[in-house]
Amino acid sequence: MPRSTQDRVEQSHREVEALAEEMRKARAFSPWSALLPFSLGAGFALALLLAGLLILRLL
């Protein structure tokens, strides 16, 4: 193979490897890691609301 063609093939291989690595990283992301803090906050807010309503009811 001529040198320029070989360089292009090697560059294409490097780009494909980089793309494959990016896809592996994207697949490793879990939506639960984003939803967990939101769920904890929502649960805490609900617990405070219920506690407040219980206190108001007892007054």
Cα–Cα dist 45/39, whole Å = 10
Q: Which residue has the tokens 């560059």?
A: 11
What is the structure's pLDDT at 41? Answer: 94
Tokens of 55: 């206190």
Tally of domains within the chain: 1
Cα–Cα dist 25/17, whole Å = 12
pTM: 0.47
Q: If residue 6 lies in a helix (H) or strand (E), which one and from where to where?
A: helix 3-28
User: Structural domain of residue 13, as residue ranges?
Assistant: 3-58
What is the structure's pLDDT at 7? Answer: 86
Q: Which of 20, 24, 40, 44 is closest to 32 using CA atoms?
A: 40
Cβ contact 9:1 at 8 Å: yes
For 2-50, write each residue's pLDDT tens digit: 678 888 889 999 999 998 888 887 666 677 777 888 999 999 999 999 9
